[in-house]
Amino acid sequence: MIAKPLLQKLAKEHGTPLFIIDHAQLRRNLAEFKRWLPHVQPYYAVKANAHPAIVKTLYEAGASFDVASFPEFKLVHENIKGLPDKARQDFIWDKIIYANPIKAIETLRELDPYKPLVTYDNYEEILKVKKYAPHAGMVLRLKVPNTGAMVELSSKFGANPGDAVNLIEATEKAGLTVEGLSFHVGSQTTNFQNYVQALNMAADIFKEARLRGYKKMKQLDIGGGFPAPYDANVKPLRELAKILNSEIKRLFPKDVAVLAEPGRFLVATACTLVASVIGKADRDNKRCYYINDGVYHTYSGIIFDHCKYPVKAFKRGPTQICAVFGPTCDALDTISLTEELPELNLGDLVYSENIGAYSHASSTNFNGFPPAKVVHINQ
């Protein structure tokens, strides 16, 4: 948590809305992940927050990267300027996975010179990759339970486990190499049994594929879903890690390298937003505050990520239930209808913590309002 006096100081210095990235917290989060899952290589999901400074800090701290578009791929690639060509190519294989199962033809053409590692989940994608990115390594993504996840993904992506080995066979017959399997249990997954079921499915497919002679698969990508500690109800990573470490050791041979795609876990708690009250009114017997950031900007996760970010005041005093709205003319721009806040005046500051994931990354310029200014601490 960033100290309140520092938040106020930064807001006074830079103005609001202000999005503050704490790089020390990024490094702590990555270190915690590595501590509890020492045999799992973290590939930061760049889509969670693609700010170049975040990518740079995590790269320097030892992270690899999960990208889902060619611009994200290029963003990460920029961090290896100065390395010789051979080292740059090795970097792509060791440090980047293109984990979007569906890829445009133009994207495949752009990726192919880098000999990337890409995910897929259907027969049509095999043909497309073979034609437009024949140098790619393939990772088959499985459909697995997403029960209880804040953001469900299995309805959009993932091969039916019953079709998996046939897909592997078709991929190999097309002249491509299947490097391993992947899955995603859903974003902000607090139901740890999702991982248990997914790992058992993947283990069965590994065994069947190897029995059929496909023995080149040496990677297991257990995806994202690692929950950020938004509140006290979220179990700590160490509890999930205990389950994962035990199941991976029990189910998979030692020659299978395991990677994961944490995004939210690494970046959510590393960022804080400070905004200003720009209006107030009483409507239907409820105090309403209007602030200079909203759901079209840093609070976009309310809409796109099904996430809540409590709005807090620096000022103390008796509180009442209030509504908080963003600055645009759209009624959708509603941050909360149930915030407990003291009496605030125009120009007073408010803040929201743990707002680093799927927030500033989705900001727009709707209504002409620009995204929050970004400042960095502890770089």
From 271, 307, 322, 329, active-site residue: 329
Q: Using CB atoms within 10 A of its CB, is residue 102 exposed (0-12), middle (13-18) or buried (19+)?
A: middle
Residue 264 has phi, psi (to 5 degrees) of -55, -45
Report pTM.
Answer: 0.93
Q: Encode the chain in three state secondary structure.
A: CCCHHHHHHHHHHHCCCEEEEEHHHHHHHHHHHHHHCCCEEEEEEHHHCCCHHHHHHHHHCCCEEEECCHHHHHHHHHHHCCCCHHHHHHHHHHHEEECCCCCCHHHHHHHHHHCCEEEECCHHHHHHHHHHCCCCEEEEEECCCCCCEEECCCCCCCECHHHHHHHHHHHHHCCCEEEEEEECCCEEECCCHHHHHHHHHHHHHHHHHHHCCCCCCCEEECCCCCCCCCCCCCCCHHHHHHHHHHHHHHHCCCCCEEEECCCHHHHHHHEEEEEEEEEEEEECCEEEEEECCCCCCHHHHHHHCCCCCCCEECCCCCEEEEEEECCCCCCCCEEEEEEEEECCCCCCEEEECCCCCCCHHHCCCHHHCCCCEEEEECC
Res. 141 pLDDT band, cuts 50 70 90: very high
329 has catalytic annotation = yes
Res. 92 pLDDT band, cuts 50 70 90: low
Please give the structure tokens belonging to residue 369: 């309002």
Evaluate if residue 89 carries a pLDDT over 60: no
CA distance linking residue 236 with residue 39, whole number of Å: 18
CA distance linking residue 17 with residue 374, whole number of Å: 9
Please give the structure tokens belonging to residue 338: 């149930």
CA distance linking residue 2 with residue 19, whole number of Å: 12
Evaluate if residue 152 carries a pLDDT over 80: no
Give percent of the chain with pLDDT exceeding 70. Answer: 93
Q: Which pLDDT does position 305 carry in this prediction? A: 84
Evaluate if residue 42 carries a pLDDT over 90: yes
> Tell me: the pLDDT tens digits for 357-371?
999 888 888 999 999
Please give the structure tokens belonging to residue 23: 């790089």
- What's the one-letter identity of residue 354? N
Q: Which pLDDT does position 93 carry in this prediction? A: 57
CA distance linking residue 140 with residue 208, whole number of Å: 14
Q: What is the mean pLDDT of the chain?
A: 91
- By mean pLDDT, which of 41-50, 54-63, 79-88, 221-230 is the weakest? 79-88
CA distance linking residue 311 with residue 316, whole number of Å: 14
Q: Which pLDDT does position 192 carry in this prediction? A: 87
> Tell me: the pLDDT tens digits for 297-351?
999 999 988 899 999 999 999 999 999 999 999 999 999 999 999 999 999 999 9
Under a CB-based contact definition with an 8 Å cutoff, are residues 143 and 157 in contact? Answer: yes
> Tell me: the pLDDT tens digits for 15-32?
999 999 999 999 999 999
Evaluate if residue 83 carries a pLDDT over 80: no
Q: Which of 289, 272, 269 is nearest to 280 (CA)?
A: 289
Q: Which pLDDT does position 91 carry in this prediction? A: 59
List all residues 6 or more positions away from 241 whose beta carbon is below 8 Å from its beta carbon.
36, 37
- What's the one-letter identity of residue 335? I
Q: Which pLDDT does position 140 carry in this prediction? A: 96
Q: Which domains does the chain have, with CATH numbers?
A: 4-19+269-377 (2.40.37.10), 23-267 (3.20.20.10)
End-to-end Cα spacing for the chain: 16
Give percent of the chain with pLDDT exceeding 90. Answer: 76
Q: Which pLDDT does position 297 carry in this prediction? A: 96
- By mean pLDDT, which of 24-33, 83-92, 158-167, 340-349 is the weakest? 83-92
Res. 80 pLDDT band, cuts 50 70 90: low
Q: Which pLDDT does position 306 carry in this prediction? A: 87
Q: Which pLDDT does position 37 carry in this prediction? A: 97
Please give the structure tokens belonging to residue 301: 């996760």
